[in-house]
């Protein structure tokens, strides 16, 4: 096994320079009370001999790892990879390293990841929960031990926690209102599982817009699924085969909306002429579909930045109280939803 052994330590430098190890340690980190001469000598020797500090030893001694952990359902999902990219960027800007784990939507895997992150003694943890996760129990180890923990996007429904979210309810309300104002009375809403807060909030926004128009919500125009392409197709097949196609279909992600678009095309139906279609999440493909998909753009880059900077604040200052930051999404109205002509 290739090890980092045989590598030079501060003791080696100390011996060579006939000073103590503490002096080396200090010189290397610009401690004020080291003479300029010594410092220069030490740094010179260190560089010439390829000294590389052992962060592991330092971490152990300092009881601090300058490392944060990220747990997400998947890395290879556009929205999440954007957030992760942002987190990584700002974390390193602040001198933190980043450990990453995927839960792959499994609550058990998530739970194991939490243990691992704890055992690694990360200074803080950033989490977007799995689809199976209903509350914050999985994260008790961090909560009980008062180790900084910030949830983002998919967060537990508990405002005692640190959370960074977008305004799902408001966005969903706006989308629905727009569809209603364009004359669509029958809007079918394909949503994600309602054990997840973001989807509950989107449903609430949907319902609110309906109520305001004096319409009542009933679940004949509502379906929950895991929002995969496959599930989307199954639901699309069903809905678009009925005699009574809804005026508008509103999907809680663009992947599902795409399924509707594809099934529609297979059936010779036209969007937005036969029905309006609205997505959520603004995938890279959404703006290049024909027709261009109207959707909701979530501020991934900023959510990542805010989440990690918040986490680092908490790491640096023990006694901050928890808070929930809301970063607004923006509705991207494109070509897949239209005003009904007769209006």
Partner DNA sequence: TTGTAGGCGTTATCAG
Partner DNA sequence: CTGATAACGCCTACAA
User: By CB under 7 A, is residue 38 in contact with DNA?
Assistant: yes
Cα separations (Å) of 94 from 87, 88, 308, 309? 11, 10, 10, 9
Pairing outcome for strands 295-297 and 330-332? antiparallel
Give the binding range for a copy of itself (CB under 8 A) out of 29-37, 86-94, 180-188, 330-338.
Answer: 86-94
Identify any residues that bridge with 189 across adjacent strands, giving them in sequence order.
Answer: 222, 250
User: By CB under 8 A, is residue 285 in contact with a copy of itself?
Assistant: yes
Between 14 and 327, CB nearer to DNA: 14
* Residue count, binding to DNA (CB under 7 A): 30
Between 41 and 223, CB nearer to DNA: 41
Size of the chain, expressed as the number of residues it contains: 343
Q: How far is the CB of 17 from DNA (least distance, A)?
A: 8
The answer to whether the Cα torsion of 180, 181, 185, 188 is positive or negative is negative
The Cα–Cα gap between 185 and 233 comes to: 23
User: By CB under 7 A, is residue 22 in contact with DNA?
Assistant: yes
* Residue 225, H or E segment: none
User: By CB under 8 A, is residue 317 in contact with a copy of itself?
Assistant: yes
Q: Which residue has the tokens 């509707």?
A: 260
Residue 184: name its binding partner from a copy of itself, DNA, none (Cβ under 5 to 8 Å by kind): none
User: By CB under 8 A, is residue 322 in contact with a copy of itself?
Assistant: no
Q: Are 336 and 184 in contact (CB under 8 A)?
A: no
Between 3 and 18, CB nearer to a copy of itself: 3
The footprint of DNA on residues 61-120 (CB under 7 A) is 61-63
Q: Which of 40, 49, 60, 285 binds DNA (CB under 7 A)?
A: 60
Pairing outcome for strands 248-251 and 330-332? unpaired
Q: Are 120 and 99 in contact (CB under 8 A)?
A: yes
- In the complex, which residues of this chain contact a copy of itself (CB under 8 A)? 1-5, 7, 52-57, 59-60, 63-65, 67, 74-78, 81-82, 84-85, 88-89, 92, 97-102, 104, 115-116, 118-121, 123, 141, 145-148, 258, 262, 283-285, 288-290, 314-318
């Amino acid at each position: 096994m290739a090890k980092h052994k045989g590598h030079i330590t501060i003791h080696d430098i100390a011996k060579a320079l006939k000073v103590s190890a503490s002096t080396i340690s200090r010189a290397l980190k610009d401690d004020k009370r080291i003479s300029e001469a010594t410092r220069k000598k030490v740094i010179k020797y260190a560089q010439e001999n390829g000294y590389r500090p052992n962060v592991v030893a330092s971490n152990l001694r300092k009881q601090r790892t300058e490392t944060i952990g990220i747990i997400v359902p998947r890395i290879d999902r556009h929205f999440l990879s954007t957030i992760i990219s942002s987190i990584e960027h700002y974390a390193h800007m602040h001198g933190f390293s980043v450990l990453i784990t995927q839960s792959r939507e499994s609550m058990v895997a998530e739970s194991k990841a939490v243990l691992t992150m704890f055992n690694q003694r990360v200074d803080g943890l950033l989490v977007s929960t799995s689809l199976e996760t209903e509350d914050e129990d999985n994260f008790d180890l961090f909560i009980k031990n008062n180790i900084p923990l910030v949830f983002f996007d998919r967060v537990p429904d508990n405002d005692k926690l640190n959370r960074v979210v977008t305004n799902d309810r408001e966005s969903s309300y706006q989308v629905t209102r727009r569809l209603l104002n364009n004359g669509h009375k029958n809007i079918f809403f394909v949503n994600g599982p309602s054990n997840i807060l973001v989807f509950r909030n989107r449903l609430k926004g949907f319902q609110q817009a309906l109520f305001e128009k004096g319409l009542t919500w009933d679940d004949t125009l509502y379906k929950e699924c895991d929002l995969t392409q496959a599930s989307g197709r199954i639901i699309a097949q069903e809905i678009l085969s009925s005699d009574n196609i809804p005026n508008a279909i509103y999907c809680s992600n663009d992947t599902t909306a795409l399924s509707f678009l594809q099934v529609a095309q297979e059936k010779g139906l036209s969007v937005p002429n036969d029905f309006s279609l609205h997505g959520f999440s603004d995938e890279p493909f959404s703006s290049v579909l024909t027709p261009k998909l109207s959707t909701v753009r979530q501020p991934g880059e900023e959510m990542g930045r805010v989440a990690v900077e918040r986490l680092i604040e908490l790491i640096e200052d023990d006694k901050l109280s928890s808070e929930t930051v809301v970063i607004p999404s923006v509705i991207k109205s494109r070509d897949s939803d239209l005003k009904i002509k007769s209006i």
